[in-house]
Structure 1
Amino acid sequence: MVNRSDVHYFGAGPAPLPTAVLEKATQVILNYKDKGIGLFEISHRSPEANEVLADAKQALATLLDIPDDYKVLFLQSGGSGEFSATVYNLVAIWVEKKRAKIAEEVGDDKDEVLRRLRKIVDEELKLDYLVTGSWSLKASQEATRLVGAKHVNVAIDARKANNGKFGIIPPESEWGLTPRTTVGGPALVYFCDNETVDGVEFPAFPSSLEGDDAPLVCADMSSNFISRKVDVRKYAVIFGGAQKNIGNTGIAIVILRKSLLPPHSTPASPDLLRELRLPVGPIVLDYPTIAKNNSLYNTLPIFDVWVAGQVMSALVNTYGIKKISGQEEISNEKARLIYETLDKYPNVYRVVPDKAVRSRMNICFRVSGGDADKEKAFLAGAEKKGLLGLKGHRSVGGIRVSNCKCTYNNLLYYRCFCFTTV
């Protein structure tokens, strides 16, 4: 029988959770707080469920220093669902702002308001996407599916600067962002902070998106969530699937600027969006609805929130005043150990992305130039040593070491990896 302590899992799918959390989970599944029923069985509207939500929010707020003017939401959409949610919510806000401005100018003439609004939507509605890997590409494709290609501006497609493959982030001077004018800019600017499949990570927040007048910025942080310090105030929306780095599969976490919620911002009505031939999102992806109901509009998987809360609380207790900076040091060191080993043997290993944008969380490389037999032998040898989940994504092949799956792994495992796979 293989023991849990005998293997070290590096796959990019659902996270291997801390053993201590899993051991506690077996208890709360059977009998939560001595109530005679398990956490799976309690009502999502019970005081216990609300306590689980509050504890998870507080742990995340503490780790990331989330300001009071932001809201934390839990949804069942996963990261892919948020590709759609950001479009539905932010386009509706953009449209309503335009409608209100026109109404100030023309008064109660609804036909004239609609006429002008149609023209503005047709000519000015833009959603900017920085496509630097497979996930931002999918997000841009979903936006195109929802609002149409004419409204989606792919400000960069990194493949065009890298022989048709992802692996670099072009200089910001080459980005084709929608111009910011006196009447406004794009409804959103979207980028994926860390590309899980392609091993590309933004080394820092893009300087061209800095400033108080910046358009709404949405960032997919699924696979580098709670791995480094983030200035939350720079973002209107941050989201990530919990399973990559925080918990088990089942929930997405959204950090949302409160100014995007009523009464500060009002989305366009469904009737108006239909008049403009723009999509109306499902209610379970509607941020105002989810926020108003404390993430409990529909039946939230409270156990999944509890797991995420336990993981984050453990990090709070482990790092104290260092908060997420403590975990950032560990993440950086793990990545350094592996990249230094790979770079030491260039005749054997080739790191896929450019050195300037190498992901700390998903280390993608090829063995012997991508020789299929040698990569297969590499994976087989690694498995014998208890190093699992190293096969690259099916769309790109190769080898991938996902640091995000090993938040709690001792650095010794990484030294073991570097020593045994050369």
Structure 2
Amino acid sequence: MKHNFGAGPCILPQEVFQEASQAILNFNDTGLSILEISHRSKEFEAVVAETERLVRELLAVPQGYSILFLQGGASMQFAMVPLNLLPEGGKAAYLDTGTWASKAIKEAKKVGDVAVVASSADANYNYIPKAYGIPVDAAYFHYTSNNTIFGTEIFETPISTAPLVCDMSSDILSRKINVADYGLIYAGAQKNMGPAGVTLVIVKDDLLGKTGRTLPTIFDYQPHIAAGSMYNTPPVFSIYVSMLNLRWLKSKGGVEVIEQENIIKARTLYDEIDRNPLFRGTAVPEDRSRMNVTFVMEDKVHEDAFLALAKERGLVGLKGHRSVGGFRASIYNALSITGVNALVDAMQEFEEKNK
């Protein structure tokens, strides 16, 4: 049995794979594959409608917010956010907590004035900055809630008079949030929501259309809202599999239930990292991510041997990002406690062999 700790595209439940595989051959008894069905058909329109309903239900999205299924990943949102929310001559505020936050800042600077309120680059992003001020004249404040590469996560919603914009690509649907606290949330689906290819955007309607900019239509949220996420051909298969995965999450009891499971999984793994003398966590304890657990060997010489043992035990995707080194265990929603326990067992076995 394989236990997939890869950072993305994500692990998905086996039942989702099975249902999706059937739809590739024959979608809803149409005699057509989900890969070839028209995105204008009533069958696929029903898929989009259900996916939107599930997002709205699972995240308790209030009225006055639109839900979009776009393409281009978070990387396209790095540009779309300032294009749609940063007025001509205005200023946006950003928090720099890792690679993806830095990329968002770089793109926003191409659009307008950006104030970087704080950064943890001085310690290779192993912590979340705490003491910073947000300019009162900021059009919005942008932050990345979970930093996949560096293993940190922001659990407390920042206090800001400016609308909050959050990249939740790697922790969306893993814990409860209050959507009403935000002006805009975006997330690449490929961590907890579904396969790569679709990007979720949740945006407060009354923030739009106020920048004074004339945008290319494809980069303007409003035409996408008006067209129900079908301004251009949507990522049909990715939306469909996301719908199946959201059904699975709802059947488990929703975000509240999965959050408790994620707490247990993360605590189990961090406890072993802290106990085992061969391993050391890289993120400061108070900012440790529940989704991406980053750790290294106290003696780097053992790293290849541990990866070899992990591979023998069916533990895949553990090699850390080059920016951090060591190991990264991504423990997204669909990874069970069984997988975490298998990793802990391998760590303890390696300890016994190297006493």
TM-score w.r.t. structure 2 length?
A: 0.94
**1:311 counterpart residue number:** 245
Which residue, 96, 120, 130 being the options, matches 1:131?
96
Conservation of the 8 A alpha-carbon contact between 1:202 and 1:357: yes
**1:416 counterpart residue number:** 342
Which residue, 93, 118, 142 being the options, matches 1:156?
118
**Amino acid corresponding to residue 331 of structure 1 in structure 2:** N
Q: Deviations over 1:26-76 (max 9, x none)?
A: 211121121211111111112112111111111111111111221110101
Conservation of the 8 A alpha-carbon contact between 1:237 and 1:254: yes
Task: Give the C-alpha shift of residue 133 in structure 1.
Answer: 1.2
**1:327 counterpart residue number:** 258
Which residue, 187, 197, 218 being the options, matches 2:149?
197
Conservation of the 8 A alpha-carbon contact between 1:29 and 1:40: yes
Unaligned runs of 5+ in 2: 349-355
1: CA distance between counterparts of 2:67 and 2:241? 16
**2:249 partner SS:** helix
Q: Which structure has greater helix proportion?
A: 1
Residues 27-66 of structure 1 mapped to structure 2, 5 A cutoff: 27-66=22-61
**1:332 partner SS:** helix
Residue 143 of structure 2 is aligned to residue 186 of structure 1: no
2: CA distance between counterparts of 1:363 and 1:376? 18
**1:66 partner SS:** coil
Which residue, 63, 72, 96 being the options, matches 1:68?
63
Q: Deviations over 1:389-409 (max 9, x none)?
A: 0011123221000012xx233
Unaligned runs of 5+ in 1: 1-5, 96-120, 271-279
Which residue, 263, 268, 271 being the options, matches 1:340?
271
Conservation of the 8 A alpha-carbon contact between 1:52 and 1:302: no
Conservation of the 8 A alpha-carbon contact between 2:146 and 2:152: yes
Which residue, 402, 412, 419 being the options, matches 2:330?
402
Number of aligned residue pairs:
348
Residue 198 of structure 2 is aligned to residue 251 of structure 1: yes
Residue 221 of structure 2 is aligned to residue 287 of structure 1: yes
Task: Give the C-alpha shift of residue 267 in structure 1.
Answer: 4.2
**Amino acid corresponding to residue 292 of structure 2 in structure 1:** N
Conservation of the 8 A alpha-carbon contact between 1:10 and 1:403: yes
TM-score w.r.t. structure 1 length?
A: 0.80
**1:80 counterpart residue number:** 75
Conservation of the 8 A alpha-carbon contact between 1:75 and 1:252: yes
**2:351 counterpart residue number:** none
Residues 253-268 of structure 1 mapped to structure 2, 5 A cutoff: 253-261=200-208, 265-268=209-212
**Amino acid corresponding to residue 346 of structure 2 in structure 1:** T
**2:190 partner SS:** helix
Task: Give the C-alpha shift of residue 249 in structure 1.
Answer: 0.8
Conservation of the 8 A alpha-carbon contact between 2:73 and 2:198: yes
- Percent identity, aligned pairs only? 36
Q: Radius of gyration: which is bigger?
A: 1
Q: Deviations over 1:258-308 (max 9, x none)?
A: 2124xxx444242xxxxxxxxx4x422210011010000000021110100
2: CA distance between counterparts of 1:398 and 1:83? 29
Backbone CA RMSD of aligned residues: 1.4
Q: Deviations over 1:333-367 (max 9, x none)?
A: 1000000000112x311111111100000000111
Residues 101-116 of structure 1 mapped to structure 2, 5 A cutoff: none
Conservation of the 8 A alpha-carbon contact between 2:7 and 2:191: yes
**Amino acid corresponding to residue 68 of structure 2 in structure 1:** L
2: CA distance between counterparts of 1:50 and 1:187? 35
Which residue, 148, 167, 170 being the options, matches 1:223?
170
**1:354 counterpart residue number:** 284
Q: Deviations over 1:194-232 (max 9, x none)?
A: 0000001012112x32xxxx2121101111011000000
1: CA distance between counterparts of 2:288 and 2:335? 21
